[in-house]
A and B are shown apart, each in its own frame.
Chain A
Amino acid sequence: MSAPTKLPRWAELGLLPLLNLAAALVLSGLIVRIMGENPWTACKLLVTGALGSQEAIGYTLYYATNFIFTGLAVAVAYQAGLFNIGAEGQAYIGGLGTGLVCLWLGHWPFWAVLPLAVLAGAGAGAGWAFIPAWLQARRGSHIVITTIMFNFIAAALMTYLLVNVLIKPGQQSPETREFAAGATMPAVHELLAKVGIEFAATPFNLSFGLALVAAGLVWLFLWRTRWGYALRVAGENPTAAVYAGISPSRVTIGAMLLSGVLAGGLGLNELMGAQHRLLLDFPSGAGFVGIAVALMGRNHPVGIFGAAVLFGALAQGGSQLSFDLPKLNRDMVVVIQGLVILFCGALENVFRTPLAALWRRKEPGER
């Protein structure tokens, strides 16, 4: 009946996400309390665990890199009106592409391996996203369901490949041999050491920079090019898109390919930067965290960066919790993630409605 409630921009982009986050954190604190630990202590441990030392910061940003990639992947699809639940599977298969290049060409110099690894990761991620995209565009298959199914299919495929094909001979655990030196993403502490700055050794690596570049390019693409314009038109109003001569099905396919490309970036950080081999379940839920990151970051690269660092801090700080508080472990972080998704995504109107009412009272009279 009435138009969707309007809030001023700063409240929509700043205040509302903060309120949602606060609600999620308060509830998390309550759960900690119920479990018999002091929420304040837990909070302090989380913060120092995530930001209290060079090592902590390095790990936080290393986790954040994954989340920037997957958050961007979810956001680009979202701007096109598509809910991509499949970033997890796309990152997994994208990583396969990157991993294979690293296995085969790892003896090449890094500057030659990097572009090929990026291309392979992007291509494989996009390829995995293409099938649900094509099915949505041409056959009308609901992309939420198909991408979920494709996550499971990806997991089955990767398990098969790692157990039966790619496994390092004579080894029990399903993982490949280690990449050769050329396929190692330079770590930040190594790079800093070259210019004489000392930084704790962490898996925080150059792909963080690549993630930032990706975020910048996504922003430029969405808001400063005619193709991004077309994508947003199709996402907001497919009927108007057809009217404007924009093909919604082409946008669907294009946006999902781009989404897959971005999800494919995860392998650069996780495989080339940290694990140096292909192994089972290396995305470990980052695709789903990407949904939380995109929702909290309002599907905007700047917001996504902030949200990704926050979730990176949670991931890193969470592992610290279990050392000091015997009754807590990393799983608490998953709870917080779930609560953040809940409040930022599903319960956002809980705060928006009263806020909007407040706003109307401040500006009475005719429109």
Chain B
Amino acid sequence: METYTLIVLLLAATIRVAAPLLLAALAGMFSERSGIIDLGLEGKMLGAAFAAAAVSAVSGSAWLGLAAGIVTSVALALLIGYACITHRGNQVVAGMAVTIMVAGLGPTLGLAWFGLGGQTPQLDGPGQRFTAIVWPWAKTAREAPFPGLLYAELLSGHNLLVYFAAALVPFSAWVLYRTRFGLRLRAVGENPQAVDTAGISVTALRYQAVIISGVLCGVAGTYLSVAASSGFVRDMTAGKGYLALAALIFGKWRPVPTLGACLLFAFTDALATRLQGVALPGVGVIPVQFILALPYVLTVLLLAGFVGQAKPPKAIGSPYGDK
């Protein structure tokens, strides 16, 4: 019974950690499927996290915060697009540059606007955050361990953005595999020349992909500062953008396997938190750092072809067009 509760709580924590990862990973999926390496995930999330928290703090509305997060992230995405698509710049450098710039810009603006040394004010007013939505009868259901507790902890009790992230997986799969846009997106990441000769603008397609990535990173960033915590703090993405990238690779650039990878990585994170300083029978204390490093190690092993194989879109990283 005790173990069962622990496991359910662990899974609930997994879902909460997985949500922003998933949003960012799917953002990266759209960008990379179009042929643009998305090393800017971290930066776009961080920018959105700051903007969302700042606007929510000032306006008192989480929804306005979300809008600001999305607008900021899309603006950064367009900057990357301008560099990489219009000016054929190096995609890795563009992503890194935006990430580094935002890492400085957030705290700088935080200080200048709120005088809070790189933070935004605490979001504690009504409507300033996306809070957990409790489903009907969840409280009563909790009393019955199975399936009541599962219902109460895993289905109920998350904020709106978690449900959005969950719904996004089938929706992305549908877009990618069942729509004209998806067909073209997959084509442009594999062979942009084929798309060009078919009379479709490679530039327009890639900009669309980059903008979608911006929107989703905007939601992911908002989740961090306005839903999962109450305000922006310095460096609050803490590498989640790169972890999302790893999950995307681990999921082989496909929506459903990417969801699996995000859940796996989130689970290791939740587990690490849970196991901190806990001695396991027969094993002793597992250093939490080792568990936290696991996703990165797994991704490297995958890239090395030791566990499965990850084949990126063929045209990724190479600019397209004359000049």
Is the A/B pair a real complex? Answer: yes
A363 to B: closest C-beta gap in Å: 19
B287 within 8 A of A: yes
A352 to B: closest C-beta gap in Å: 9
A328 within 8 A of B: yes
**A142 adjacent to B111 (CB under 8 Å):** no
Name A331's contact: one of B83, B104, B296, B305 (CB within 8 Å).
Answer: B104
Known: A329-B108, A349-B87. A142 touches B303 (CB 8 A): yes
User: What residues on B are CB-neighbors of A54 within 8 Å?
Assistant: none
Smallest Cβ-Cβ distance to B87: which chain A residue: A349
Please report the C-alpha to C-alpha distance between residue A36 and residue B83 in the assembled complex, in whole angstroms. 28
Known: A328-B108, A341-B100. A150 touches B290 (CB 8 A): no
**B97 adjacent to A338 (CB under 8 Å):** yes
A1 within 8 A of B: yes
Name B323's contact: one of A131, A336, A353 (CB within 8 Å).
Answer: A353
B25-58 interface code vs A (CB 8 A; 1 in, 0 out): 0000000000001010000000000000000000
Please report the C-alpha to C-alpha distance between residue A332 and residue B110 in the assembled complex, in whole angstroms. 11
Binding site secondary structure of chain A: helix
B96 within 8 A of A: yes
Smallest Cβ-Cβ distance to B302: which chain A residue: A141
**B112 adjacent to A160 (CB under 8 Å):** no
Scoring B84, B89, B296 by chain A CB atoms within 10 A of each residue's CB, the highest score goes to B296
B314 within 8 A of A: no
A2 within 8 A of B: yes
User: What residues on B are CB-neighbors of A139 within 8 Å?
Assistant: 303-305
B92-118 interface code vs A (CB 8 A; 1 in, 0 out): 111011111111111111011100011
Please report the C-alpha to C-alpha distance between residue A132 and residue B106 in the assembled complex, in whole angstroms. 32
- Which candidate, A151-159, A198-206, A210-218, A221-229, is the interface stretch facing chain B? A151-159
A337 within 8 A of B: yes
B242 within 8 A of A: yes
**A135 adjacent to B300 (CB under 8 Å):** yes
B68-100 interface code vs A (CB 8 A; 1 in, 0 out): 000000000001101110011111111011111
Name B290's contact: one of A142, A160, A292 (CB within 8 Å).
Answer: A160
**A291 adjacent to B93 (CB under 8 Å):** yes
B260 within 8 A of A: no
**B104 adjacent to A35 (CB under 8 Å):** no
**B289 adjacent to A159 (CB under 8 Å):** yes
B292 within 8 A of A: yes
B293 within 8 A of A: yes
Name A342's contact: one of B94, B290, B304 (CB within 8 Å).
Answer: B94
User: What residues on B are CB-neighbors of A347 within 8 Å?
Assistant: 82-83, 87, 89, 94
User: What residues on B are CB-neighbors of A353 within 8 Å?
Assistant: 87, 323
B297 within 8 A of A: yes
User: What residues on A are CB-neighbors of B157 within 8 Å?
Assistant: none
Within 8 A of B (CB), among A219-248: none
Please report the C-alpha to C-alpha distance between residue A31 and residue B89 in the assembled complex, in whole angstroms. 23
Smallest Cβ-Cβ distance to B94: which chain A residue: A346
B286 to A: closest C-beta gap in Å: 11
User: What residues on B are CB-neighbors of A349 within 8 Å?
Assistant: 87-89, 323
Smallest Cβ-Cβ distance to B316: which chain A residue: A142
| Range of interface residues on A (Cβ < 8 Å) | 35 or more
B145 within 8 A of A: no
User: What residues on A are CB-neighbors of B257 within 8 Å?
Assistant: none
B299 within 8 A of A: yes
A315 to B: closest C-beta gap in Å: 12
Name A338's contact: one of B88, B90, B98, B305 (CB within 8 Å).
Answer: B98
A186 within 8 A of B: no
Known: A153-B296, A157-B293. A328 touches B87 (CB 8 A): no
B239 within 8 A of A: yes
A7 within 8 A of B: no
Please report the C-alpha to C-alpha distance between residue A152 and residue B305 in the assembled complex, in whole angstroms. 20
Please report the C-alpha to C-alpha distance between residue A295 and residue B93 in the assembled complex, in whole angstroms. 9
Please report the C-alpha to C-alpha distance between residue A209 and residue B127 in the assembled complex, in whole angstroms. 58
A100 within 8 A of B: no
**A339 adjacent to B101 (CB under 8 Å):** yes
A155-178 interface code vs B (CB 8 A; 1 in, 0 out): 011011001100000000000000
B245 to A: closest C-beta gap in Å: 7
A207 to B: closest C-beta gap in Å: 25
Smallest Cβ-Cβ distance to A139: which chain B residue: B304
A332 to B: closest C-beta gap in Å: 5
B312 within 8 A of A: yes
A288 within 8 A of B: yes
A327 within 8 A of B: yes
Please report the C-alpha to C-alpha distance between residue A350 and residue B323 in the assembled complex, in whole angstroms. 12
**A345 adjacent to B105 (CB under 8 Å):** no
User: What residues on B are CB-neighbors of A348 within 8 Å?
Assistant: 89
User: What residues on A are CB-neighbors of B107 within 8 Å?
Assistant: 329, 331
Please report the C-alpha to C-alpha distance between residue A156 and residue B84 in the assembled complex, in whole angstroms. 32
B202 within 8 A of A: no
B188 within 8 A of A: no
Smallest Cβ-Cβ distance to B89: which chain A residue: A346
Smallest Cβ-Cβ distance to A288: which chain B residue: B100
Known: A332-B104, A335-B101. A135 touches B304 (CB 8 A): yes
> What are 12 of the A-B contact pairs (CB < 8 Å)?
A135-B304, A139-B303, A148-B245, A149-B296, A153-B300, A160-B287, A338-B99, A341-B96, A341-B100, A345-B97, A346-B83, A346-B89
Task: Taking A145-B249, A157-B289, A328-B112 as given, write out 16 further A-B residue pairs in contact, using a Cβ cutoff of 8 Å, ordered by the A residue number.
Answer: A1-B322, A31-B105, A142-B303, A144-B39, A149-B242, A159-B289, A288-B96, A291-B96, A329-B111, A329-B117, A331-B104, A331-B118, A335-B105, A342-B79, A342-B97, A342-B98
